[in-house]
Amino acid sequence: MMQIKELAERFSKNPKFTSGHRMCGGCATPIIVKSVLASTDKPVVAATATGCLEVASTIYPYSSWDIPWIHSAFENAASTISGVEAAYKALKKRGKLKGEMKFVAFAGDGGTYDIGLQALSGAMERGHDFVYVCYDNEAYMNTGGQRSSATPLGANATTEPAGSVIPGKERWRKDLVKICAAHNIPYVAQASVGNLVDLTSKAAKAFEAEGPAVMVVFSTCPILWGTKPEATVQMAKLAADSCFWPLYEIENGDYKLSYRPAKKIPVVEFMKSQRRFRHLFIPGNEHVLKEIQEGVDAEWEKLLKLCGEK
């Protein structure tokens, strides 16, 4: 497993994704991209769906990508990288290319859980050898904070705002990790910027998997979550310690827990400093907080059983 010192050396030696981008202060996505790309020594080709990452990292005539990079539409990053991987295999078979290359697609939750799910599902079913990374900030942040199917229960979103009648989003988030695992692909993982050693270890496994590999990574958004930029990593740690965002992997169908909190904290400890949940702490919405805690507890117990944990 890659340690922090080695990771820091990789960042400085061959960053692949460089400074100078216009991502917001405290955004977790650049950390995710740098960590993932630092997890392999092999040449990498990347595709990025339209979204925060693409818009802020490639303001013409500048680019933070120091590797071959392709801008895809919102819905087809998985299709684009599949085509690149297929072309690579064809050229290699004809003897026109030598050596080994890796392929990765990056997209947000809007471009993955929702409008990009068909492209991702098709790429997984066809068995393309690539890594797909969803930086999950739990809403359509690039266009103003509209709810996605990754938005958690009770969160305030511009298209499902909290008010006197409806206390935020009324439905639970989609479980993308298990949806991907149902495609019987070699590797799926849920990770977080709160644990970079775990994140890079999973990315290394994903790159070495023979076939499709998917990572869903918790990506704090200070602007629309209403958190402090300097609290990005701490928020991710609270999400894991409350089991709101468990860290685990599914390798060839086998579930494995990556992190178990020494002391599981209440979900409100993760939620209380976020503006998107502020309305839930107003008297009258206690039932929503109770439902969220019960739901998180139930999902955690299910996960422990799947991982063979007591």
In angstroms, rounded to a whole number, what is the distance separating the alpha carbons of residues 109 and 74?
11
For the stretch 131-168, pLDDT in tens is: 999 999 999 999 999 999 999 999 999 999 999 899 99
Question: What pLDDT does 11 receive?
Answer: 66
In angstroms, rounded to a whole number, what is the distance separating the alpha carbons of residues 190 and 247?
5
- Which pair of tokens denotes residue 258? 């990556």
**If you average pLDDT over residues 127-132, what whole number do you get?**
98
**If you average pLDDT over residues 282-287, what whole number do you get?**
95
In sequence order, the β-bridge partners of residue 248 are 190, 257
For the stretch 48-99, pLDDT in tens is: 999 999 999 999 999 999 999 999 999 999 999 999 999 999 999 999 998 9
pLDDT band for 5, please (50, 70, 90 cuts): confident
**If you average pLDDT over residues 17-33, what whole number do you get?**
93
Short-list 295, 282, 298, CA closest to 170: 295
For the stretch 192-201, pLDDT in tens is: 999 999 999 9
DSSP 235-298: HHHHHHHTTSS--EEEETTEEEE----SSPPPHHHHHTT-GGGGGGGSTT-HHHHHHHHHHHHH
pLDDT band for 236, please (50, 70, 90 cuts): very high
In angstroms, rounded to a whole number, what is the distance separating the alpha carbons of residues 243 and 96?
49
Whether the predicted pLDDT of 1 surpasses 70: no
- Which pair of tokens denotes residue 112? 């993955």
**If you average pLDDT over residues 269-286, what whole number do you get?**
96
Average pLDDT along the chain: 95
For the stretch 171-198, pLDDT in tens is: 999 999 999 999 999 999 999 999 999 9
299 to each of 192, 243, 245, 283, 293, how far by Cα in Å?
18, 9, 10, 26, 10
The residue type at 307:
C
Listed as own residue / partner, the contacts of 297-302 with beta carbons closer than 8 Å and 24 or more positions apart are 297/243, 299/243, 299/246, 300/243, 300/246, 300/264
Question: What pLDDT does 310 receive?
Answer: 80
Q: CB atoms < 10 A from the CB of 182, how many?
A: 12
- Give the homologous superfamily in CATH for domain 4-306: Thiamin diphosphate (ThDP)-binding fold, Pyr/PP domains (3.40.50.970)
Cβ atoms of 188 and 213 within 8 Å: the answer is yes
In sequence order, the β-bridge partners of residue 79 are none
The residue type at 76:
N
Question: What pLDDT does 55 receive?
Answer: 93
Helices (H), the chain: 4-13, 29-37, 52-57, 77-93, 117-126, 176-181, 196-208, 222-225, 232-241, 267-271, 286-306
Short-list 148, 152, 157, 177, CA closest to 296: 152
> What distance separates the 2 farthest-apart alpha carbons in the chain?
69
Question: What pLDDT does 3 receive?
Answer: 66
pLDDT band for 6, please (50, 70, 90 cuts): confident
Whether the predicted pLDDT of 9 surpasses 80: no
Question: What pLDDT does 137 receive?
Answer: 97
Whether the predicted pLDDT of 290 surpasses 70: yes
Domain residue spans in the chain?
Answer: 4-306
In angstroms, rounded to a whole number, what is the distance separating the alpha carbons of residues 6 and 13?
10
Cβ atoms of 101 and 129 within 8 Å: the answer is no
State the sign of the Cα–Cα–Cα–Cα dihedral 122, 127, 10, 219: positive
